[in-house]
Amino acid sequence: MKERPVYQSNIKSDGNYYITSIIPEDICLIEEAKRISSPGEFLKLYVNELIGNINNRETIINEIGEGKRNFLIDKEGQFINHGQI
């Protein structure tokens, strides 16, 4: 989708938890040539914003897209600092 829905979580003063969404008025898909075509490219799209300022960041992001790196957490559930690899 060109414009994705935005989701928000709120806990109101009454103690209830609410999830709300803002859905675009028009739903349009991105051009077919720009669509994600592999699991690595899909993962790269979503983690690109999450991976901070680390050594070799662009190389690591590209390796995720190429499928050379396919995990972000270790067996204890902690984010792996790929900058130390």
Choice between 84 and 2, residue whose per-residue pLDDT is larger: 2
Burial class (CB in 10 A: 0-12, 13-18, 19+), 69: buried
Residue 1 forms part of a structural domain: no
Domains in the chain: how many in total?
1
Looking at residue 85, its pLDDT comes to 45
Q: Cα separation of 63 and 44, whole Å? A: 9
Pull the structure tokens for residue 80.
Answer: 């792996």
Least confident of 6-10, 69-73, 81-85: 81-85
Contact in structure between 65 and 36 (CB atoms under 8 Å): no
**Residue 21: which domain range?**
6-84
Reported confidence tier of residue 78, pLDDT bands at 50, 70, 90: confident
Q: Cα separation of 83 and 81, whole Å? A: 5
Task: State the average pLDDT over residues 5-21.
Answer: 92
pLDDT in tens, 24-68: 888 887 777 766 678 888 888 888 888 888 888 899 899 988 888
